[in-house]
Amino acid sequence: MDKVLVVGSLNMDFAVYMDRRPQAGETVMARSMKLVPGGKGANQAYALGKLGAKTSMIGAVGTDTFGEQMLANLEKVAVATKGIQKIAGTETGKAFIEIENSGQNSISVIAGANAAVDEGLVLAQEELFAQADAVVMQLEIPVPSVVAAARLAKKHGKTVVLDPAPARADLPDELWAQVDITKPNETELALLTGLPTGTEAEVVAAAKALIAKGVKNVLVTLGGDGTMLVTEDKVEKFPAYKVKAVDTTAAGDCFLAAFISQFTGSNFAEAIDFGAKASAIAVTRQGAQTSIPTVEEVENFH
């Protein structure tokens, strides 16, 4: 897709690195902390921009330094930020991320200005919808705004992409009916559908439950087991690349953005492979937007 609009969140990430994450009631000593631009929406917009798609974003930041830093980072990769509002009296969203040596993480998000992305803010940017080929959304802004964005995207005949994260069980059927491509991992798929996803057969059955609601293509990311594409009439699996992960933050954002940057409407295998390579590189680097590779790095990866 050449022109992409991202409607979603921007967070400053407080990334804390430690040997292992604490259990309930436990205190552990961490090694270091980094402030890194993040947020699922901003990560996807940043990755799309860095990978060469003409990208714009709708969202909101506060009138604080973090907001300025978030906008500046997106602009570095030529993302158009005119659809990102600065909300007076609000703080930019923040995410607190604990990352252990295996690269696995736990994330808590304070929505801040992301909560101010209401339907009015989205609808006021109709012109950005008209200019895009695809509209990409996640679930870190209010759900009614995601539904309004999907409706507007469809009104303009655009490809609707939903990253259903953070996953929740109460998404309206109207939203699913508009979605052309969604990308849950197995855990999110279970949460979204209320169905088990412990085996491949269960993953297919749960993905089919979304197809029954009107979704055209479900891309289930299976970590080291690759990606499964489920549509009404086919199920296909694509391999992952084995690497030593140091930080999995934004790996899914990177995968989705890299996939969309290459997707032409039918070349699933090629675009998924590009996404798998890009996210394999991303997990070997610390941070969210700091981990996104260039096109050359992805093309030279093997």
Annotate 72-91 with b (16+ C-beta within 10 A) or e (fewer).
ebbeebebbbebbbebeebb
109 binding ligand RIB? (CB under 6 A)? yes
The nearer residue to ligand RIB, 42 or 211, going by C-beta atoms, is: 42
Provide, rounded to whole angstroms, the least separation between the CB of residue 40 and ligand RIB.
Answer: 5
Q: Tell me whether strands 181-182 and 217-221 are parallel, antiparallel or unpaired.
A: parallel
How far apart are the C-alpha atoms of 116 and 250, rounded to whole Å? 23
39 counts as binding ligand RIB under rule CB under 6 A: yes
* Shorter beta-carbon distance to ligand RIB: residue 133 or 253: 253
Q: 197-236 mask for ligand RIB (x: CB under 6 A)?
A: ----------------------------------------
Q: Which is nearer to ligand RIB, 43 or 227 (CB)?
A: 43
Q: Is 40 in the site for ligand RIB (CB under 6 A)?
A: yes
Which residue, among 280, 284, 282, 301, has the nearest Cα to 293 in the 3D structure?
A: 282
Q: Is 253 annotated as a binding residue?
A: yes
- Piece of 7-15, 67-75, 230-238, 269-277 that binds ligand RIB (CB under 6 A): 7-15
Instruction: Note whether 50 binds ligand RIB by CB under 6 A.
Output: no
Closest CA to 199 of 231, 181, 207: 207
* Residue 250 interacts with ligand RIB (CB under 6 A): yes or no: yes
Tell me if 140 is assigned to a ligand binding site. Answer: yes
Task: Determine the Cα–Cα distance for residues 44 and 256; give it in Å rounded to an integer.
Answer: 7
Q: Binding residue per annotation — 194?
A: no
Q: What gap in Å lies between CA 123 and CA 127, rounded to an integer?
A: 9
In the residue annotation, 2 being an active-site residue is answered as no
Q: Looking at residue 288, what DSSP letter applies? A: S
Tokens of 132: 């895009």
CA dist 225 and 195 (Å) reads: 20
Identify the residue among 48, 192, 288, 292 touching ligand RIB (CB under 6 A).
Answer: 288
Rounded to whole angstroms, the Cα distance separating 251 from 257 reads 10
Pick from 18, 107, 130, 222: which binds ligand RIB (CB under 6 A)? 107
Q: Is the peptide bond before 184 cis (omega within 30 degrees of 0)?
A: no
x/- string (CB under 6 A) for ligand RIB, residues 122-141? Answer: ------------------x-
Q: Which of 264, 258, 296 is nearest to 279 (CA)?
A: 258
Structure tokens at 114: 């992301």
Does the footprint of ligand RIB cover residue 249 (CB under 6 A)?
yes
User: Does residue 61 interact with ligand RIB by CB under 6 A?
Assistant: no
Binding of residue 283 to ligand RIB (CB under 6 A): no
43 is in an annotated binding site: yes
Instruction: Decide: is 13 part of the binding site for ligand RIB (CB under 6 A).
Output: yes
Q: Is there a contact between 202 and 196 (Cβ–Cβ < 8 Å)?
A: yes
CA pair distance 249, 165, nearest whole angstrom:
13
Partners of 14 in beta bridges: 35, 96
Q: State both tokens at 284.
A: 């070997």
Residues binding ligand RIB (CB under 6 A): 9, 11, 13, 38-40, 43, 95, 107, 109, 140, 249-250, 253, 288
Q: Which residues are annotated as a binding site for K(+)?
A: 247, 249, 282, 285, 287, 291
Binding residues for ATP: 185, 221-226, 252-253
Active site residues: 253
Known binding-site positions for substrate = 11-13, 39-43, 140, 253
